[in-house]
Chain A
Amino acid sequence: MMRGNRIFLTCFYWAFVLYVFIPLILMITMGFKDSKFIGFPIRSWTLDWYASVFSNTEILSTFGYSVTIAVLATLISVFVGTWIAVLLEGRKFWGRMVIMGLTVMPALVPGIISAIAFRIYARLLGIEPGMGAIVWSHAVHTVPFVALVVMARLSTLPKSQIEAARDLGADPLIAFVRITLPYLIPAIIGASIFCMLISFDDFVRSFFLGGYEPTLPVLIFAKLRSGMSPEINAIATVALVLTAAIGIWAERFTRRMNKDS
């Protein structure tokens, strides 16, 4: 009985792996199909779609636009998230749990609601739809992830480290920059990469807060609505390879860092 169970579960696991990978593999394969028509079977192969993607300035600039947004949003989000984490991991204070709850809230609001709430609020703040609005919404959306990751790391920093620095003449700010910050670096790097991926992949906020210039997911979405083409597969594959590679690297990086300390 135990054995049967085990075999069943092993098969189930690998079936799940297939379920998770097959659609992506199919999509990648389709990018090499030598025909305008999406669908199986594939009779001849080509690299033309990739060539056309890499020579298309609109796509390349969209790519750059998405990366710029991701970097800017991450800078803001890391700054704010780290500050919040330092506050929440410090001494207990009245209302701490309320601040904690509000901190994680943006990560829990369903996508469409978050997007339109940002859209309405951007109007109130006077931010025009476009890059600024997207950066701002991505930054707010990713703050919870930074705060949680940094808090986890901060909770393992012995209190005596900061006290020793203060004791040796460092004021709170110098102690933070010279002792706390170096300790947090692995967590901050890990969180930054996650934030960049979230921002780079985000569709719904970019869609509702964007101006005329689309981000990469918005561009793919727009192209999909006007019909499928192997060119989209090529774009998507480039995005996929990039994000997956960075994601895996970040995952390994944070694991190694956590093991080291």
Chain B
Amino acid sequence: MTDQTPLVRIEGVSKHFGDTVALDNLTLDIARGEFVTFLGPSGCGKSTTLRILGGFERPTSGRVILDGKDVTTQPPEKRQVNMVFQDYALFPHMTVKQNISFGLELKGMDKRGIQRRSDEIMAFLELSAFGDRYPGQLSGGQRQRVALARALAPNPALLLLDEPLGALDAKLRGQVQQELKSIQRRTNKTFFFVTHDQEEALTMSDRIVVMNQGKVEQDGTPEDLYFHPASRFVAEFIGETNLLSGEMRGHEDGAVVMDWFGQTLRGHAPAGAPRTGAPITASVRLEKLGFHAERPATANAVQGKVVGKTFLGSRMAVDLMIEDAQGATLRAFVDAETGQTVGADPVWVGWDSDSMAVLRD
């Protein structure tokens, strides 16, 4: 897998359903061996993208190139793409083994080949003991693995996963997330994962594409998205954050300088920051705020009074009212011990300029 050309190339793809625009001029490359997640609320266009890649929908305009070939108008059965469905869509009248063999058979494989391949994949996913059972006799987690095995068996170039963890309970979900990631590493397959669950996306992906209203909001690594959200939508959709609304002041040593209720703050800037004087919003993650008794040496520091505390087990969420800032508040995570000591006295909070992302509108 040294091929450097992208596996999938989506070129200006739009999809309209009547008057509604499900996907608006999407252009994107997916590299080989990548675990890419499309994340967004329902109706954002992530599932439409997935269905276009699978061949279940035809784009209104644009092209889809798979492995150098234009597959835009190819039906699903002709594509080297397989899918794990949200409801698994296992065939109820076939055993686990027959389900897994289905795709192999239709590729024209002989019986011995099918036997070898299905045994191999069942062993790989620890399903060997269930070969003769029917889907109705399996647990949710087992069904999910059968769906995965069935999709992986024909050796697809690209594997599509449509919220496959949605039907599992919370405890099992964490375990399956790890499993899925490790399967992807070991098979070195390209996974295209669709979810509305930000935690799932952060845990598993090499790359996350956040979608909103048929458009890409941001495209980057999980760390990138989390600490340097590009827009208000991304900042609010992924994790909990402090949003600071202020005014653009200018640039200084590669950082953006902004005014926030009379406090001068420095933040990380996206390309093409707004002009001076324009209203801007910045985002700081709760865990990036550090507590200090004295004014810290960090790029940003403000003094505030504790107005609320929420115990969360391993840590504590503290609400601060910032002095000299017209009652603006910040929320911070601190470890439980520190949380207990802070109280009546005003405290200093500080953070780096790199921890604060100035958002595009």
Contact = CB atoms under 8 A, between A and B. Distances in A.
A166 B75 contact: yes
B154 A183 contact: no
Contacts of B85: 160, 163-164
B87 A170 contact: no
A160 B54 CA distance: 12
Given A169-B77, A169-B154, A171-B77, A161 B89 contact: yes
A174 interface: yes
A182 interface: yes
Contacts of B106: 168-170, 174
A204 to B, nearest CB: 40
A222 B107 CA distance: 61
A167 B54 contact: yes
A158 B103 contact: no
B154 A168 contact: yes
A161 to B, nearest CB: 5
Contact of A166 (B77, B91, B107, B154): B77
Interface in B76-106: 76-77, 81-83, 85-87, 89-93, 102-103, 106
Interface string B126-160: 00000000000000000000000011001000000
B56 interface: yes
Contact of B87 (A160, A165, A182): A160
A164 B77 contact: no
B104 to A, nearest CB: 9
A80 interface: no
B-side binding surface: helix, strand, loop or mixed?
loop
Interface string B102-124: 11001100000000000000000
Contacts of B154: 168-169
Contacts of B107: 169
Contacts of A166: 55-56, 75-77
B91 A167 contact: no
A179 interface: yes
Contact of B83 (A161, A164, A169, A183): A164
Interface in A164-195: 164-171, 174, 178-179, 182-183
A168 B87 contact: no
A164 B89 contact: yes
Contacts of B83: 163-164, 167
Interface in A132-161: 158, 160-161
Contacts of A169: 77, 103, 106-107, 154
Contacts of A171: 75, 77
Contact of A182 (B56, B90, B93, B103): B93
B89 A158 contact: yes
Nearest to B160: A167
Contact of B76 (A158, A167, A174, A182): A167
A161 B91 contact: yes
A171 B103 CA distance: 12
A170 B151 CA distance: 13
Contacts of B76: 163, 166-167
Nearest to B90: A164
A183 B150 CA distance: 20
A179 B89 CA distance: 11
Contacts of B150: 164, 168
Of A160, A171, A178, which is in contact with the most chain B CB atoms at under 10 Å from its CB?
Answer: A160
Nearest to A185: B93
Nearest to A168: B103
A174 B106 CA distance: 9
A160 B86 contact: yes
A159 to B, nearest CB: 9
Contacts of A179: 91
B56 A163 contact: yes
Contacts of A170: 77, 102, 106
Contacts of A183: 92-93
A165 B279 CA distance: 53
Contacts of B89: 158, 160-161, 163-164
A165 B86 CA distance: 15
A183 B154 CA distance: 24
B251 to A, nearest CB: 51
B232 to A, nearest CB: 35
Lowest 4 CB-CB distances: which A-B pairs, in order? A168-B103, A169-B106, A164-B89, A160-B89
10 contacts: A163-B89, A165-B102, A167-B55, A167-B76, A167-B83, A169-B77, A169-B107, A170-B106, A171-B75, A179-B91
Interface of A: 158, 160-161, 163-171, 174, 178-179, 182-183
Given A166-B56, A167-B77, A178-B102, 7 more contacts: A163-B54, A166-B75, A169-B154, A170-B102, A171-B75, A171-B77, A174-B106
